[in-house]
């Protein structure tokens, strides 16, 4: 407006100079640069010019003030962040980072500082009242500005896996104390690769290892918890639409957890274009996955429909088989249409469930939930708040259960050592003491801790196998289980334990060698000696310690 008023005013004074000159002189007004070029002609200043020569410099002053205020706020935020203690630093303010930040703020458990490289996104999240550092977290200075050296935890959730690794390593080296670093990787097999090879173990003396997590694995874990794949003695069948990052995470989790009484294992079907090649790629990352699950690839031809193939597969199997079908992991109407098609084609299989992504539109979700015929057959994956919240990323509840499992194992191993020495078998006692896991929980590497976490995840499976409800079972009920009820559960536990070792690259060898990942117990349960079977029986008995009611 000032520019238009000034141009009009100068034209009124000096029409002969033309529009360009008038515009040029109007621009000068913004820099307090007004003086009459011709005092006679400008003796009577038009009101438009009078107004413009006040508005223009005031506009400039206002802009400078806003810049100064923005710079002050940025400096003040950086000062506050740098001097914060015991807080969370979250690198990446996208959906994952923002979800965690909002939960932490709501709980009031920790102060939060976010680092975001995208200026627009940084402004958006700052508008919610968060302390945000606009910068590149791959640079140590940005982490220092966020107070990472004095933080309790650093969570790295940018959209680039390579940046996440670089940021995590930098943050671990900056810590003034026992900083805990959690970094996201979008590929489940990469997370497992890091943990198997202890690549991020103790990056700096005095600091714990970097712990990698995978959002898709969190989705899979919670889905399996919310929608148990098995029922009574029914076979469990899982249908995945190809092998995206999310589908791979499900395949791995089901292979680790899907072990039931009677030696039954999970049945996985990869249904999609080039499914055979996708399965070959999965086997290259997990060479022993076929020891842990029954896996079949079904290629979908251009003229075939996913729903028709799955329905035909279900109709070939006993009606008591439980099917869990994932028609797609991205929000679209095609997945919903496929779900309806499956429900219609599988009326003879009341135990077939179709799970849609949490991002399914509210209108579709509401329609399904309001329809009793669909509500029991179609469900939804867990929301972002559950899969990227504090517990999903940090895993304190899971770790408490895993720590207790390890402490029970240590106590039993010490008893075995004492018994061996009491009987004069010093060699056996030393073999027990030489086990790589015969150390406190805090000294275990991530692969060893994950083994205990996997056992904790399997607790609901054992409870259901005993004919009890995980939501209502009490420690007293568990103590009343007879030896004949414990034995099949011990077999389940051995199958689950073996699956974890197979999936993490271990192989059988009569002589144990932890460095080369060789283990003599990677055999059928019936081939174990009684003391080893007792480890499984005791693990099942101790399960009651994890029950809260």
The full set of domain ranges for the chain reads 2-62, 71-214, 227-357, 401-546
3-state secondary structure of 79: helix
Q: Measured between alpha carbons, how far is 114 from 91 in angstroms, rounded to an integer?
A: 6
Residue 49: closest CA among 22, 75, 89:
22
Number of Cβ atoms within 10 Å of the Cβ of 371: 12
> 71-214 and 227-357 share one CATH topology?
yes
**pLDDT at 205 (0 to 100):** 47
Please list, residue by residue across 114-136, b when 16 or more beta carbons sit within 10 angstroms of its beta carbon and e when fewer do: bbbbeeebbeebbeeebbbbbbb
Tokens of 473: 């079972």
Helices (H), 370-467: 372-375, 384-387, 390-394, 396-422, 426-433, 446-457, 459-465
**pLDDT at 85 (0 to 100):** 77
CA distances from 269 to 25, 318, 437, 504 (A): 75, 16, 35, 22
Given a contact cutoff of 8 angstroms between Cβ atoms, the answer to whether 155 and 91 are in contact is yes
Q: Measured between alpha carbons, how far is 536 from 407 in angstroms, rounded to an integer?
A: 14
Please list, residue by residue across 390-406, b when 16 or more beta carbons sit within 10 angstroms of its beta carbon and e when fewer do: bebbbbeebeebbbbbb
Given a contact cutoff of 8 angstroms between Cβ atoms, the answer to whether 300 and 306 are in contact is yes
**pLDDT at 7 (0 to 100):** 73
Number of Cβ atoms within 10 Å of the Cβ of 181: 28
Q: How far is CA 169 from the centre of its chain?
A: 19
**pLDDT at 49 (0 to 100):** 67
**pLDDT at 203 (0 to 100):** 47
Backbone angles phi, psi at 357, to 5 degrees: -65, 155
Q: Measured between alpha carbons, how far is 410 from 423 in angstroms, rounded to an integer?
A: 20
- Between 2-13 and 18-29, two packed helices, what is the crossing angle to 10 degrees? 130
Fold designation for 71-214: Rossmann fold (3.40.50)
**pLDDT at 204 (0 to 100):** 46
Q: Measured between alpha carbons, how far is 285 from 129 in angstroms, rounded to an integer?
A: 43
**pLDDT at 193 (0 to 100):** 81
**pLDDT at 111 (0 to 100):** 87
pLDDT (tens, 9 = 90+) of the chain, 549 residues, equals 766 777 777 777 766 667 777 777 676 776 666 666 666 556 667 767 667 666 777 777 777 666 665 555 666 555 565 667 788 999 999 999 999 999 999 988 888 999 999 989 998 998 898 989 899 999 999 999 898 888 889 999 999 999 999 999 898 888 766 788 999 999 888 888 887 776 665 544 455 568 889 999 999 999 999 999 988 778 899 999 988 999 999 999 999 999 999 889 999 999 999 999 999 999 999 999 999 999 999 998 877 889 999 999 988 887 778 899 999 887 677 888 999 999 999 887 888 899 999 988 888 999 998 998 898 899 999 999 999 999 999 888 899 999 999 999 999 999 989 999 999 999 889 988 988 899 999 888 888 899 999 999 999 999 999 999 999 999 999 999 999 999 999 999 999 999 999 999 999 999 989 889 999 999 999 999 998 999 999 999 999 888 865
CATH of domain 227-357: 3.40.50.80
**pLDDT at 360 (0 to 100):** 86
Given a contact cutoff of 8 angstroms between Cβ atoms, the answer to whether 310 and 338 are in contact is no
Q: Measured between alpha carbons, how far is 139 from 255 in angstroms, rounded to an integer?
A: 39
Q: Measured between alpha carbons, how far is 91 from 68 in angstroms, rounded to an integer?
A: 26
């Amino acid at each position: 407006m000032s520019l238009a008023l000034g141009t009009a005013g100068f034209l009124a004074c000096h029409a002969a100079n033309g529009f360009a000159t008038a515009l040029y002189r109007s621009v000068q007004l913004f820099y307090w640069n007004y003086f009459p070029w011709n005092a006679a002609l400008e003796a009577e200043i038009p009101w438009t010019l009078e107004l413009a020569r006040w508005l223009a410099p005031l506009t400039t002053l206002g802009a400078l003030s806003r810049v100064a205020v923005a710079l002050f706020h940025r400096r003040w935020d950086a000062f506050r962040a740098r001097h914060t203690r015991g807080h969370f630093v979250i690198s990446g303010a996208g959906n994952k980072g923002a979800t965690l930040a909002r939960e932490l703020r709501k709980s009031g458990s920790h102060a939060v500082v976010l680092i975001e490289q995208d200026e627009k996104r940084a402004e958006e999240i700052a508008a919610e009242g968060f302390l945000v550092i606009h910068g590149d977290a791959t640079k140590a200075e940005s982490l220092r500005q966020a107070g990472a050296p004095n933080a309790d935890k650093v969570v790295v959730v940018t959209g680039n896996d390579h940046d996440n690794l670089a940021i995590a390593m930098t943050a671990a080296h900056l810590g003034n104390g026992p900083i805990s670093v959690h970094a996201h990787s979008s590929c489940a097999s990469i997370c497992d690769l890091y943990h198997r090879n202890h690549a991020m173990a103790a990056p700096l003396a005095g600091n714990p290892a970097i712990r990698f997590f995978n959002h898709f694995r969190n989705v899979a874990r919670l889905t399996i918890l919310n929608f148990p794949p098995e029922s009574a003695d029914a076979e469990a069948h899982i249908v995945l639409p190809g092998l995206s990052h999310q589908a791979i995470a499900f395949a791995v989790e089901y292979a680790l957890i899907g072990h039931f009484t009677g030696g039954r294992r999970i049945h996985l079907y990869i249904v999609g274009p080039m499914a055979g090649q996708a399965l070959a790629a999965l086997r290259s990352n997990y060479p022993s996955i076929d020891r842990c699950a029954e896996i079949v690839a079904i290629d979908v031809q251009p003229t075939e429909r996913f729903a028709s193939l799955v329905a035909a597969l279900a109709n070939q199997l006993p009606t008591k088989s439980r099917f869990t079908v994932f028609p797609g992991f991205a929000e679209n109407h095609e997945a919903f249409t496929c779900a309806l098609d499956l429900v219609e084609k599988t009326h003879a299989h009341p135990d077939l469930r179709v799970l849609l992504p949490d991002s399914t539109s509210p209108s579709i979700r509401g329609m399904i939930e309001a329809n009793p015929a669909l509500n029991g057959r179609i469900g939804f994956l867990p929301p972002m708040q559950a899969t990227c919240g504090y517990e999903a990323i940090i895993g304190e509840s899971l770790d408490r259960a895993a720590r207790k499992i390890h402490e029970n194992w240590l106590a039993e191993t010490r008893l075995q050592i004492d018994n061996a020495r009491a009987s004069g078998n010093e060699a056996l006692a030393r073999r027990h003491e030489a086990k790589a896991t015969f150390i406190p929980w805090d000294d275990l590497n991530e692969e060893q801790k994950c083994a205990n976490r996997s056992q904790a995840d399997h607790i609901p499976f054992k409870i259901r196998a005993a004919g009890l409800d995980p939501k209502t079972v009490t420690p007293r009920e568990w103590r009343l289980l007879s030896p004949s009820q414990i034995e099949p559960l011990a077999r389940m536990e051995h199958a689950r334990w073996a699956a974890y070792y197979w999936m993490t690259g271990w192989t059988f060898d009569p002589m144990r060698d932890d460095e080369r990942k060789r283990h003599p117990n990677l055999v059928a349960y019936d081939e174990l000696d009684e003391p080893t079977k007792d480890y499984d029986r005791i693990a099942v008995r101790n399960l009651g310690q994890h029950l809260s009611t």
